Amino acid sequence: MFKNFIRVMVQRGHEVRIVTVEKDLTETLLKRANLPYDHIGENPTSFLGKLFNTPLWIFRTYNISRRFKPDIFVGQAFPHFAHVAALQGKPYIIFEDSEPAHVVQAITFPFASSIITPSCYREDLGKKHVKSESYFELAYLHPNHFSPSKSVLKNLGLQDGEKYVVVRFVSWSAVHDIGQEGGFNLEKKRELIQEIAKYCKVIVSSESPLPKDLEKYRITLAPDKIHDLVYYATLVIGDSQTMTTEAGVLGTPAIRCNSFVGKDDMGNFLELENSYGLIFNYRSADEAIGKAIELLQDNTIVETWLAKRKRLLKEKCDFSQYMVEYVEGYL
Q: How far does the chain reach from its first CA to its final CA, in angstroms?
A: 21
One domain, residues 201 and 247: yes
One domain, residues 92 and 162: no
Decide if 82 contacts 108 (C-beta within 8 A).
yes
High-pLDDT (> 70) share of the chain, %: 96
d(CA 188, CA 128): 43
- Residue 140 in any domain: the answer is no
Decide if 150 contacts 160 (C-beta within 8 A).
yes
One domain, residues 297 and 169: yes
High-pLDDT (> 90) share of the chain, %: 76
One domain, residues 221 and 261: yes
One domain, residues 195 and 308: yes
| Res. 214 pLDDT band, cuts 50 70 90 | very high
- For residue 118, what are the domain limits? 3-134+317-328
The model carries a pTM of 0.92
| Res. 263 pLDDT band, cuts 50 70 90 | confident
Arithmetic mean of pLDDT over the chain: 92
Position 208 scores a pLDDT of: 82
One domain, residues 210 and 321: no
d(CA 195, CA 317): 37
Does residue 34 or residue 254 have the better pLDDT? 254
Tell me which of 84-88, 147-151, 153-157, 169-173 is least confident.
Answer: 169-173
Per-residue pLDDT at 23 exceeds 80: no
- Residue 112 in any domain: the answer is yes
> How many residues in total does the chain contain?
331
Closest CA to 4 of 31, 33, 27: 33
- Residue 144 in any domain: the answer is no
DSSP structure string for 268-291 = HHHHHHHTT--EEEES-HHHHHHH
CATH of the domain at 126: 3.40.50.2000
| Res. 331 pLDDT band, cuts 50 70 90 | confident
Position 178 scores a pLDDT of: 45
Q: pLDDT of 267-282, one tens digit each? A: 999 999 999 999 999 9
Domains: count for the chain: 2
Position 183 scores a pLDDT of: 79
- Residue 143 in any domain: the answer is no
Strands 235-238 and 19-22: unpaired
One domain, residues 201 and 273: yes
Position 302 scores a pLDDT of: 93
Position 193 scores a pLDDT of: 95
Query: By CB neighbour count within 10 A (0-12 exposed, 13-18 middle, 19+ buried), where does 157 fall?
Result: exposed
Decide if 140 contacts 4 (C-beta within 8 A).
yes
- Residue 141 in any domain: the answer is no
One domain, residues 248 and 298: yes
Does residue 222 or residue 250 have the better pLDDT? 250
| Positive or negative: CA dihedral 327, 99, 172, 165 | negative
Q: What is the arithmetic mean of pLDDT over 205-222?
A: 89
Position 171 scores a pLDDT of: 74
Q: pLDDT of 171-193, one tens digit each? A: 754 444 444 456 789 999 999 99
Per-residue pLDDT at 225 exceeds 60: yes
Position 179 scores a pLDDT of: 45
Position 175 scores a pLDDT of: 44
- Residue 142 in any domain: the answer is no
